[in-house]
Each structure stands twice: as C-alpha cells, then as structure tokens.
Structure 1
C-alpha cells in the first residue's frame, strides 16, 4: 500500500499548501493529491486558490507524483483548456503528473451561469471530454463537434513525452462503468470493495486510489471540535454534495450534522490507531494507494505522526 498526502485547497492558503507538500515529501509520503475547487465547502474553510497555479509551483519544490483529486473538465473549464493545463503540468513535473477527473459539484461549476446538468448527462460530458483531451495530447490540429463540446482547429504545442494518465472518480455503478471504459486508474473516497471489484470486472486498469480525512490535535475532543467547525459537510448525506450551489447552502445543510457524526466520518485525535484502521479498510477493499488529508492547524504534527508510524 502506497501512502500519499492530500492537499486540501479549500482550507489552506497557497503558501501553506506548498509547505505541506515539502513536509510530506521529506517525511516519506509517496505522492500527492490536490483538490480543485472554485469555492470552499463553507466560509469557515475560507480558501479557493487556482489549482493550476499551485501545480506549477509544486513542480519547483517536490519530485513525487501529483494527482488532481479531482478536476471537472466539463463546464467551468473547457476540456481543450484543461488538456493544455494538464499537458504543461506533465512537462513541469517531468511525467509525474496525473489528471484525476470527475463529474464535479455545482458548488464549483455553476459559477459560469450555465445550467447544471443531471448526473447522467455529466457522465456523457466527462466521457466526451476525456476523448477530446486525449486527441489533443497526440499533437496536430484537432477539430471536434460532438454532442457537448466543440473544438475548432486547436493544437497543443507544449506536450510531455507521454500523454498524461487520466484517473476517474466514481461512486455509483453507472459512473464505475464509465471509469472502467475510459480511465487509466480509479479514484474514490470510500473504502468500498464492491466498487473496486466492479471497476476491475468491467475492464478497469491501473491503480485504485482512495482518500480520507484526519484531524490531528493534542486531544481527541479538540480534534473533533476542529473537524466539526471546518468540515461538517463531510457528513452531509446523499447527492447534496453534487447539487448544492453555494457554501452558504452547505452551511445550512450542515446544521443537521452533529459532532458524533463527524467523529464517525473523520479520524480525530493524536492516536495513530484510527489511521491504521482506515488504511487497512482501504487495503482490504482492494485499493493500491491511500491519501490522507489533515483538517485544522496541526498538519505538521499529522505529517510527523505518519513519518514515525507508517512511512
């Protein structure tokens, strides 16, 4: 099981994210995830830096692989522009960049004023988008007029030696089937072995990456309080995370979340036992890589705990 570190763009400033990345690499983490958000989930988290600027900056301070977890290349940013950003990122990271993609959340994608499509339509858009990007990564001029996207005589001049790998995030059977068809790897934030099995049985290739959140603090109670203040959305159920359009709507929905629910959703406190249990759950489910994100100010302590206990 490879262990990586998850950079949460919703919560930390660009400078803090760069610091976390360097600390994680020095501690022995194998790779990095970085989230791609326009908005945080709530105002308490308070950040929303542009991920592509950060990925460029990361290329100058780390040499471990970086994966977006995840980018939505179907609405806020056209797939041709995403393809250009990913190609440049792969060049800067000397082939160690992976484009993780998914169907996104209205929270981030509605900002252009376009209609927020249904889940099924977004899956169609994602599949077409990945095909467009892969064609652009082959070089030469591309013109495309599909059901959802148009590309007119576009050519990427800055390309890596090998096209970026594309990993797909999926949480339901239909999405898993699309991922198995188009992905170079699978991404999830649930240790669900049935989904990994379905991905493999449907022909899915490459590694399965999973991620979870921890909240390190000197005491478990302080960690729970911090996680509840910053990430109550972690326990918001169902499809709300995909359809609510604003941080204030997540704040309203999070009023239904209790501290006990957060205690179940996020590993809280200084004891490594809860982290070990989560890692084993993902390993048992068939994941090849696991990424841990810290919640709150004590990211140095969490990284040090992982260096000492797991890396």
Structure 2
C-alpha cells in the first residue's frame, strides 16, 4: 500500500493560507501531510517563510484526521535539540498523536542566520546524531544532563509528554546519512527516488520501517502557465541537495539557476493537468520502495484549485494505479 501526502510549503504561502490549505487537503482525502521548515525561501519569487512550528500548532487545531510531519527540521544550529524535543512533544499533544518529527542536517540557507559558520557535511551528521540522542532522552522522561562534543544540556526535563513519543524520521541523500538514519530513525525521508538510498537504510537497521518521499508537481489546466510557474519558483530544484545545502540565500540560488531553462524544469517536474503525467512521476518512487509519497504543488495561490482537482482527479487516479 502506498500513502499519498500533501506538502504545506512554507516558502510559497503565508501562515493563515497554509493552515487553510491543509484544511482543504484533509477534506480532499490526502493520507498525511508534511511541512517545510525554513527561515528563507529558496528564491525571492516564492515570497514567504513563516515559522513552521507556529503554523503546525494552528494546523493541529484546525484539522482532526490528517497526520502532520516536519519535512524537515534541522536540530543542530538554528534550533537547539532540547528545544526541538519540547516543540515536538507539545505538537504531539496538540495534534492528538498525529505528529512525526522529521529531522535533517540542514541547509546553509536557513542555519546561517544564527552565525557561527556552516560546518561540512560530516560534522553536521555528527551534530545530528548527538541531537537525536538528546531528543530521545528527553522523550523518555526525567531529567537529562548531557556533555557532548557539540551540545550541552543542563538539567532539562519535558513537563508535558505525550503517551507516545513522536516517531523520528531522518532525511538521507547519501551513504553517510543512510547509515545514520538506519541506526537512529523510525522512518526514512528522501526527495529522490533512488532505491540505493532505501537499500542502504535497510542494511543499517531500517528494514521494514516507513519510507517517505516527496515530489514537486505543477498543476494547471494551462500547461504553459504550469511550466512558467515551476521555472519561476522551483528551478532551484535542479541543483540537487549536495549543492543546495551549501548556498547561503535566495540571491545565490537565483545566480546558480540563471541558466536553467523552462524546458529543463518541465523535464523534472510534471506540469499540466494530465493525471497520467503525474502518475508517471510518482511511479519511480513506488518502484524504488517508498511507502509514502508527498506531493508539492508549486505556487501558493494555486493551492485551492489544485486541491479541488486532486480530490476529483489526482487522488482517485493514484489509488486506482496503486490500490490498497
């Protein structure tokens, strides 16, 4: 069985609209939702970056069924892991047990705002491993003291703990992160349909655990408009995470993608309103072994029309292709 999710993309809509969109997504019948957590948009044309955790708190109260998840939060610089644990526990309570904590090693785009430089990937993974250790210790209850390589925790305790701690997901893009996720995570997160990532996750202890992917799409009855919007707001996607994690701001992303053409974007992001085109884009994720796929509809202003079409056309087509 494959579950299909909706993405609250905080880079392309304000906080009130994001919550309104999730209410519509729940009504449309999406199986779960994920939420980006950025301090900056990738490109200025996206135009937004509200505080994701505040939005999630409002979304937890505005919805009743749809699961919530960070996709992903970085607990190593902008947020201290002890604070992430407190936020996650609170959100699990507010949502009635519907929250999963997706974590990753972060992007310079968002983490540079607190100063201190941008560590190389291997150091970020060390920091992430230590952060997960702290978060799990706090989820277990009681006082936590920690003297580590990267973090100190002084007599911390979560006073409001849910009966079931939020499952922890870890984002992967290569062998090092797959090893980390396999050892420490309850589920794996990836944005590329690469079976080798899931296989590595399984070898390191992740066998049988949920595997969550994400796919940008650009729905519009006018395919040319869909392509133009995807190029305007999502051409950064062509860089890949090894590049994207290093760039410091929207101006850098604009410069790095100045030669990406609309046709290049249309080759990697399905555009238009033909459900077969979207099914073909989801297929590599299913074939790679993902158990959940969240779609990102490009363009904040297009969400209500997209969600109406998704309820009537896209979700039935996906479930017909991959029935329970």
Q: Give the alignment's TM-score, normalised by structure 2.
A: 0.94
Please state how far the C-alpha of 1:300 moved relative to its aligned partner.
Answer: 2.1
Which residue of the partner structure matches residue 212 of structure 1?
215
Secondary structure of the residue aligned to 2:258 is helix
1:100 alignment partner, SS class: strand
CA–CA distance in 2 between the matches of 1:202 and 1:264? 33
Distance apart, 1:162 and its partner CA = 1.2
Greater shift, 236-245 or 5-14, is seen at 236-245
* Alignment correspondent of 1:77: 79
Equivalent residues in 2 for 1:1-311 (5 A)?
Answer: 1-62=2-63, 63-205=65-207, 206-237=209-240, 239-296=242-299, 297-309=301-313, 310-311=315-316
Gaps of 5+ in 2: 317-324
Q: How far off its partner does 1:137 sit?
A: 1.1
Distance (Å, rounded) in 2 between the aligned partners of 1:22 and 1:100: 21
Q: Is the 8 A contact 1:272 1:305 kept in 2?
A: no
SS in 1 for 2:102: strand
Q: Hey, what's the Cα distance between the residues in 2 that align with 1:182 and 1:256?
A: 39
Question: Structure 1 residue 201: deviation in Å?
Answer: 2.2
RMSD between aligned alpha carbons? 1.1
Partner of 2:319: none
| Deviates further, 77-86 or 232-241 | 232-241
TM-score, length-scaled by structure 1: 0.97
The Cα of 1:238 is off from its aligned counterpart by 5.8
Post-superposition CA distance 1:175-213 (Å, at most 9, x none) = 111110100000011111121122112211520000111
Give the C-alpha shift of residue 36 in structure 1: 0.3
User: What does residue 321 of structure 2 align with?
Assistant: none
- Structure 1 residue 237 displacement after superposition: 4.1
CA distances 1:56-101 after superposition (whole Å, capped 9, x unpaired): 0011111211010000000001000011000100110111100000
- The answer on whether the counterparts of 2:173 and 2:241 sit within 8 Å (CA) in structure 1 is no
- Give yes or no for contact 2:215–2:282 (8 Å, CA) kept in 1: no
Aligned residue for 1:121, secondary structure, equals helix
Deviates more, 1:147-156 or 1:196-205: 196-205
Query: Residue 216 of structure 1 contacts residue 299 of structure 1 at CA under 8 Å; is this kept in 2?
Result: no
Aligned residues of 1:65 and 1:97 also touching (Cα < 8 A): yes
- Residue 167 of structure 1: how far off its partner (Å): 0.3
Residues 68-77 or 16-25, more deviating: 16-25
Give, in whole Å, the separation in 1 of the partners of 2:104 and 2:97. 21
